[in-house]
Chains A and B, each alone.
Chain A
């Protein structure tokens, strides 16, 4: 059961990474990041079967941080959209050397 859970977690994480690397829409990018977080959460829960409840405690923390991050991140995206009428990352490149 553990192996399958970890395999699913790795799969989800990879999908998240590929999404982050390939997509250009900020909202989708954001969702991919959430996917990666939850993939990690899954592996935490799975491993807590072996290593004790510490992993489950960590999941709570991760979800809290993710919620906070979602609030801030979405707010930024909305602000950018209001400003530039776009959430395409190609258009958001002011900060360069």
Chain B
């Protein structure tokens, strides 16, 4: 591999950054090693039968938490620990180890950039080799190191390391342990490719790769058909989005002639503001983002993705992969800023998703489903941020969300782990993920309890926790752009941009209110009130081991203080907007287009008012949930009555899956069956082309075979006629 940097003379060229290619290579090596180890069978039915060893902590609940029907093949054999893979100890070293190496490397480069901060105005592009030299198209395998990719790399490797460590505890008894870490390492490799690639095609490779790993990990316990189906659903829905990404790349190449971030950004600067071309490219890119980041209309796969192991939900479906769409838009900042209509689309879709998912989150009983819809909702917030051209605010929320949502998911994983152990010990078949079966866990799991509250206050937007700062900045940015920005002057479906932005702001507040309500509800039902697990079971409820709570503590600290990196200038003085300033070399150009020459400034009074509204909304939400919801009145899932009316609608997620089934899936299957299969495949291809040509050949062959009568006399006659006709042809020519 050629490691000589192309851009010699760059301030990073002679530093450790020239070995940045090692960062994704470490997890790749981990994937290969763990993958080889996973080929060794576990001395047990093996990875194809996860339930055999008492597994599937969270793999067996696909319903909406309605009936708590348990599952028959729960596996209560006493050979529980016999399922542990023989190479488990080695895998526990390799899996998190390679991630720690990558994280250390990332930190080293981060430090370098910090040191040479002012010099790093241009991204450092590390070209490894020429990947696709084809005519006018030439794509290099090159990594781009700049402030934005460093933020993403730190999140991916940092949170990734913590979740790998947590997984050591969570997955230790699974017979597929090495396979799990192989997939997880592979995911990190592709995710790093996604955020480090210096061109859209390389990003797309990572984009597809993380999709593959997501599919593999959702269906990790694939012997349960529902899990395998959830994996397929995620894969197929993502394909729709990928189609948009591909078309956007085709358009870029056809019109700009380049696919590197730098090249496209430059070309976009020369394009017409609000022109049809940039708008089309942006909308297609956004279609890709809606698939990967679970926005309306392609959000349906993410809640189902909870079929995977909980650490996977934390890493892939909350902290990293699903934010790839946000990263994509931030990466294409200039492009989007040149297309205000596309920006407004992004903001509106983001705001609608935020509200819509939050309403569903209000009534879910499965603890992971609540968090899944919360993730969809928070991703909507990020899209509002990047949609209104506040790219650094979107990335800021991406970062804080990675902290507190990873914490929430791992915390719920810890709860599910404890619940599962308790049910396992008493051989019960109750649902370990249904909140109606929990309650009062604060006595049994005090560490998880405190940390989960930190994350809840953070996501609800209570100062000084991290979520408050990022959410507040997004909402303030939306408000600030209602006047004087390119967005306010644009028209979206005939509606003036400023009206649209006010609408987005109100939707954002509504989503914030509901976020506070459903998160408080989740905490109340899980940790407060009386215990509903069952009398025998409650004795077995206890805190998870330190290898699991350790990462939780780190994430708890990050969730609590993570917001201080980007406080508003209003009150933080010289410590304000540090993340914004850090990202400025990458994102300023795009933000500048939206805001104009001088930028926009809200008066201090307005800013204080906005902050007051945001805090009030969060506090009201928590208060509503705290006073209206009575965990004491709740009964265990098996005794619960069925929901009625609007509650039922929310529990069934507004029947979106059913609607998609009727309008998209069924017609597609119908057309496939009647027209494509019966009509075109069986009728035209099989019937006419394949069997038809065979029929023609057979008929000609039959006619020819009739000449072969076996009678020499006939042959002689034919010969004579032939000779005569040839001779006559020569004679009468």
The listed residue (A20, A93, A97) touching B706 by CB distance below 8 A is A97
B711 cross-chain contacts in A, Cβ below 8 A: 89-90, 93, 96
Cβ contacts B693-733/A at 8 Å (1 or 0 each) = 00000000000111111111100110010000000000000
Tell me if B708 and A24 are in contact (CB < 8 A).
no
Query: How extensive is the interface on chain A, given as a class?
Result: 10 to 19
Which residues 208-231 in B have Cβ within 8 Å of A in the complex?
none
A59–B66 alpha-carbon span in the complex (Å): 106
Interface residues on B, range: 10 to 19
Contacting pair B712 A96 (CB below 8 A): no
Known contacts A89-B711, A90-B711, A92-B712; A97/B704 CB under 8 A: yes
> Is B720's CB under 8 angstroms from A96's CB?
no
Q: Is A95 an interface residue (CB 8 A)?
A: yes
Quick check: B717 and A96 within 8 Å, CB to CB?
A: no
User: Please, which residues of chain B bring their CB within 8 A of the CB of A96?
Assistant: 708-711
Contact of A21 with B by CB under 8 A: yes
Nearest chain-B residue to A23 (Cβ)? B713
Which residues from chain B contact A17 at a C-beta distance below 8 Å? 720
Give Cα distance in the complex from A29 to B720, angstroms: 15
Chain B: minimal CB distance from A3 (Å): 19
Interchain CB contact under 8 A, B720 and A93: no
Q: Which one, B704, B705, B717, contacts A21 given CB within 8 A? A: B717
Q: Does A50 reach chain B (CB closer than 8 Å)?
A: no
Bound CA span A90–B711, Å = 7
**Pairwise interchain contact B710-A93, C-beta atoms closer than 8 A:** yes
Question: Does A94 reach chain B (CB closer than 8 Å)?
Answer: yes
Query: When chains A and B are docked, how far (Å) is the Cα of A59 from the Cα of B707?
Result: 35
Q: List A18-39 residues whose CB lies under 8 Å from chain B.
A: 20-21, 24, 29
Among residues of B, the one whose C-beta sits closest to the C-beta of A95 is B710
Asked whether, in the complex, the Cβ of B712 is within 8 Å of the Cβ of A89, the reply is yes
B716: A residues at CB distance < 8 A: 20-21
Count CB-based A-B contacts (< 8 Å): 30
Q: For residue A92, which residues in chain B have a CB less than 8 angstroms away from its CB? A: 710, 712
Q: Are A21 and B712 in contact, CB atoms less than 8 angstroms apart?
A: no
- Determine which of B709, B713, B720 lies in contact with A24 in the assembled complex, contact meaning CB atoms within 8 Å: B713
- A39 CB to closest chain B CB (Å) equals 15
How far does the Cβ of A26 sit from chain B's closest Cβ, in whole Å? 8
Contacts of B710 in A (CB 8 A): 92-96
Are B708 and A95 touching (Cβ within 8 A)?
A: yes
**Contact status A97-B713, CB under 8 Å:** no
Instruction: Tell me whether A21 and B708 are in contact (CB under 8 A).
Output: no
Q: How far is the CA of A89 from the CA of B714 in the complex (A)?
A: 11
Note all chain B residues with C-beta closer than 8 A to A20. 716
Residues of A within 8 A of B717 (CB): 21
Q: Which residue on A lies nearest to B705, using beta carbons? A: A97
Distance in angstroms from B307 CB to nearest chain A CB is 63
- Give, as a whole number of angstroms, the nearest-CB distance from B464 to chain A: 95
Scan residues 73-97 of chain A and give those whose CB is less than 8 A from a CB of chain B: 89-90, 92-97
Nearest CB of A to B722, in Å: 13
Bound complex: CA A96 to CA B710 (Å): 4
Nearest A residue (CB) for B708:
A97
**Chain A residues with CB below 8 A from B704, complex form:** 97
Q: Write out the residue numbers on chain B whose beta carbons fall within 8 Å of the beta carbon of A89.
A: 711-713
Least CB separation from A89: chain B residue: B712
Q: Which residues of B contact A90 (CB under 8 A)?
A: 711
Which residues of chain B from 550 to 565 have any CB-CB distance to chain A below 8 Å in the complex?
none
A34 → B minimal CB distance (Å): 15
Which residues of chain A are within 8 angstroms of B720 by Cβ–Cβ distance? 17, 21
Select from chain B the residue with minimum beta-carbon distance to A94: B710
Which B residue sits closest to A17, measured CB to CB? B720
With A and B bound together, what is the CA distance between A77 and B574 in angstroms?
Answer: 117
Q: Which B509-536 residues sit within 8 Å CB-CB of chain A?
A: none
CA distance A20 to B711 in the complex (A): 12
CB nearest neighbor in A for B712 = A89
Cβ < 8 Å to A, chain B residues 660-716? 704-713, 716
Which residues of A sit under 8 angstroms from B707, Cβ to Cβ?
A: 97
Most buried by A among B706, B708, B716: B716
CB proximity of A76 to chain B, nearest CB, Å: 12
Closest to A96 in B: B710
Smallest CB gap from A92: residue in B: B712
Minimal beta-carbon separation of A97 from chain B (angstroms):
3
Chain A residues, CB < 8 A from B709 = 93, 96-97
CB distance from A13 to the nearest CB of B (A): 12
CB distance from B119 to the nearest CB of A (A): 87
Expressed in whole angstroms, the Cα–Cα distance for A29 and B711 within the complex equals: 13
Residue of B nearest to A20 (CB): B716
CB of A64, distance to nearest CB on chain B (Å): 23
Which residues of the partner chain B approach A94 to less than 8 Å between Cβ atoms? 710
Q: In the assembly, what is the distance between CA of A31 and CA of B528, in Å?
A: 117
Report B-chain residues with C-beta under 8 Å of the C-beta of A97: 704-709
Name the CB-closest residue of A to B719.
Answer: A20
Q: B706, A21: Cβ atoms under 8 Å?
A: no
Q: What is the CB-to-nearest-CB distance from B477 to chain A, in angstroms, rounded to a whole number?
A: 85
Complex formed: what's the CA distance from A97 to B701 in Å? 10
- Chain A residues positioned under 8 Å from B708 (CB to CB): 95-97
Q: Within the complex, what minimum Cβ distance (angstroms) separates A16 from chain B? A: 11
CB of B40, distance to nearest CB on chain A (Å): 61
A89 and B711 CA atoms in complex are apart in Å by 7
A20 CB, nearest partner CB in chain B, Å: 5
Chain B residues near A93 (CB-CB < 8 A): 709-711
In angstroms, how far is the closest chain A Cβ from the Cβ of B702?
9
State the Cβ distance, A80 to closest chain B Cβ, in Å: 12
Min Cβ gap A1→B in Å is 25
Which residues of chain A come closer than 8 Å to B712, judged between CB atoms?
29, 89, 92
Residues of B within 8 A of A95 (CB): 708, 710
Q: How far is the CA of A20 from the CA of B715 in the complex (A)?
A: 11
| Bound-state Cα–Cα, A96 to B707, Å | 8
Q: How far is A21 from B712 in the complex, measured between Cα atoms in Å?
A: 9
- Cβ-closest chain B residue relative to A29: B712
A77 vs B647: C-alpha distance when bound (angstroms) = 99
Q: Which residue of A lies closest to B707 (CB)?
A: A97
Q: Which residue of B lies closest to A32 (CB)?
A: B716
| Closest B residue to A22 using CB positions | B713
Contacts of B705 in A (CB 8 A): 97
Q: Complex formed: what's the CA distance from A38 to B704 in Å?
A: 34
How far, in Å, is B75 (CB) from chain A's closest CB? 67
CB A29 to nearest CB in B, in angstroms, measures: 8
- B328-366: contact bitstring with A at CB < 8 Å (1 yes, 0 no)? 000000000000000000000000000000000000000
Once the chains are docked, how many angstroms separate the CA of A94 from the CA of B720? Answer: 22
Give me the interface of B with A, judged by CB distance under 8 Å. 704-713, 716-717, 720
Pairs of residues from A and B, 4 with the lowest C-beta to C-beta distance, nearest first: A97-B705, A96-B710, A93-B710, A97-B708
15 sample A-B contacts, Cβ–Cβ < 8 Å, listed by A number: A17-B720, A21-B713, A21-B716, A21-B717, A29-B712, A89-B711, A89-B712, A89-B713, A90-B711, A92-B712, A94-B710, A95-B708, A96-B708, A96-B710, A97-B706
A95-B710, A97-B706 provided; 5 other pairs, C-beta below 8 A? A24-B713, A29-B712, A93-B711, A94-B710, A96-B711
